[in-house]
């Protein structure tokens, strides 16, 4: 049976027990409202770890003014049933007051990586992400932590934090899980109306267009971005945030596509903001 842990003190006791048993710990951080993308991370964590802990915490620090913190979908009992079915050993589900007993005065700043792409329209978002993930790493002391490729910028931020702050753990990034029509699975998909849901496939289609262009010999990043923008902007109700081609490792701007790149898009449909990405290389369209 999956153990539900709500306090930091109890979480640390659980970690001590796992260590005393000689077992490795795999962590899957989530904000709940789980879908098959989350569950794919759980399954990978089970393959790679002696014990698996999932966190469910809707982190207020990563939501800006006017964003969807209050209406972010929550379904704890449903999530717990899914995690029990997957054989998760523990769920760390603290209240906001447990994680932040007073207004935070210390946070993890990640500089430029948090100011570009999604960070440009969501100032402070990645500072909130880095801060809560650092707290989870300190509290739960995982040997490995599992994240999805869909959140590519988040992965880049956390990878830099782990490297530069010397966290003693391994990050494993797992493939994006998609619906049959290509839409990346996301808890925010629940916000979409039927028409918006149908139109949202343009994110994946724009990535596939970039894949086709690069496989066909396109090397000018600006022209690939332009084709993606035009495809997205032609869809009713789609409000483009960005369509970018950047370096896959450090997210730097790219002019000529000479090696592996991250092709990333962010689009709003009504009040719902969706993201997606693909890692592509000029030598192959299969990456």
Predicted confidence at residue 29, as pLDDT, reads: 98
Burial class of residue 146, CB neighbours in 10 A (0-12, 13-18, 19+): buried
- Whole-angstrom distance, CA of residue 56 vs CA of residue 105: 23
Predicted confidence at residue 257, as pLDDT, reads: 97
- Structural domains in the chain plus CATH codes: 3-174 (3.40.50.620), 187-280 (3.30.1300.10)
Neighbours of 200 (CB within 10 A): 26
Residue owning tokens 């050993």: 89
Share of the chain above pLDDT 70, in %: 99
Task: Indicate if the pLDDT at residue 272 is higher than 80.
Answer: yes
Whole-number Cα distances in Å, 147 to 27, 70, 154, 207, 223: 9, 24, 9, 21, 31
Q: Which two tokens stand for residue 207?
A: 């990535």
Q: Is 67 left (phi over 0), alpha (psi -120 to 50) or beta?
A: beta
Catalytically active residues, by annotation? 38
CB 280 within 8 A of CB 214: yes
CA-closest candidate to residue 94, choices 49, 50, 60, 145: 60
Instruction: Give residue-wise pLDDT tens across range 153-183.
Output: 999 999 999 999 999 999 999 999 999 999 9
Instruction: Give residue-wise pLDDT tens across range 36-56.
Output: 999 999 999 999 999 999 999
Q: Which of these ranges, 76-80, 133-137, 229-233, 282-286, has the smallest mean pLDDT?
A: 282-286
State the virtual CA torsion across 146, 192, 206, 239 in degrees, nearest 10.
-120
Question: In this structure, are strands 25-30 and 51-56 parallel, antiparallel, or unpaired?
Answer: parallel
- Whole-angstrom distance, CA of residue 132 vs CA of residue 108: 9
């Amino acid at each position: 049976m999956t153990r539900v842990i709500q306090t930091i003190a109890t979480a640390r006791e659980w970690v001590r027990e796992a260590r005393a048993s000689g077992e490795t710990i795999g962590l899957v951080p989530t904000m709940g409202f789980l879908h098959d993308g989350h569950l794919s991370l759980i399954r990978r964590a089970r393959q790679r770890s002696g014990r698996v802990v999932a966190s469910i915490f809707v982190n207020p620090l990563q939501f800006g003014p006017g964003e969807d913190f209050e209406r972010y979908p929550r379904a704890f009992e449903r999530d717990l049933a899914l995690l029990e079915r997957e054989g998760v050993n523990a769920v760390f589900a603290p209240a906001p007051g447990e994680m932040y007993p007073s207004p935070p005065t210390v946070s993890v700043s990640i500089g430029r990586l948090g100011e570009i792409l999604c960070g440009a329209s969501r100032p402070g978002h990645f500072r909130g992400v880095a801060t809560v993930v650092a707290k989870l790493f300190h509290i739960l002391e995982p040997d490995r932590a599992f994240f999805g490729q869909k959140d590519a910028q988040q992965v880049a931020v956390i990878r830099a934090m782990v490297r530069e702050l010397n966290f003693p753990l391994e990050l494993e990034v797992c493939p994006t899980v998609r619906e049959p029509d290509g839409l990346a699975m996301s808890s925010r998909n629940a916000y979409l109306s039927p028409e918006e849901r149908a139109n949202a496939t343009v994110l994946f289609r724009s990535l596939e267009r970039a894949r086709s262009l690069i496989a066909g010999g396109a090397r000018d990043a600006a022209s690939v971005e332009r084709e993606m923008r035009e495809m997205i902007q032609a869809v009713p109700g789609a409000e483009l945030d960005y369509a970018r081609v950047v370096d896959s490792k450090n997210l730097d701007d790219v002019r000529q596509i000479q090696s592996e790149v991250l092709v990333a898009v962010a689009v709003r449909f009504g009040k719902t903001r969706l993201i997606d990405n693909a890692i592509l290389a000029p030598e192959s369209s299969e990456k």
